[in-house]
Amino acid sequence: VQLQASGGGLVQFGGSLRLSCAASGIAVDDYSIGWFHQAPGKERLGVSCISSSDGSTYGAGSVKGRFTISRDNVKNTVYLQMNNLKPEDTGDYYCAVKLFGTPEALCMGLGPAADYWGQGTLVTVSS
């Protein structure tokens, strides 16, 4: 199983980026999938997660209205559209999948840990 995250980069305050998480070895619509943010020197936290079943989503309060998670089952890829970026959004972004559980549980780290993690993609927001 591989989760390949990409799309990070340097962007100015208020700008946008779209992250991609391409999966191989699994079907993304079988899993809850989420994006996690790790700011420099801080713990990794869930920001946006999507259900495998009905496409319901969970978003952390800090990103609501700015970040949107979506899934393309044909491309077997999950996206994170990030708008109105702020310097505090800077950090590594990871995608992870979990076979069982809700997107809220995945994002909040409740219950069993995620089954697979991708490598990070770095987002830097300049002020």
Interval 25-64: pLDDT, tens = 999 889 999 999 999 999 999 999 999 888 899 999 999 9
Q: What mean pLDDT value characterizes the chain? A: 95
CB of 50 closer than 8 Å to CB of 32:
yes
Q: Is 31 exposed, middle or buried (0-12, 13-18, 19+ CB in 10 A)?
A: buried
- CB environment 89-102: b (16+ within 10 A), e (fewer): bbbbbbbbbbeebb
pLDDT at res. 54: 86
pLDDT digits (tens, 9 = 90+) for 82-97: 999 999 999 999 999 9
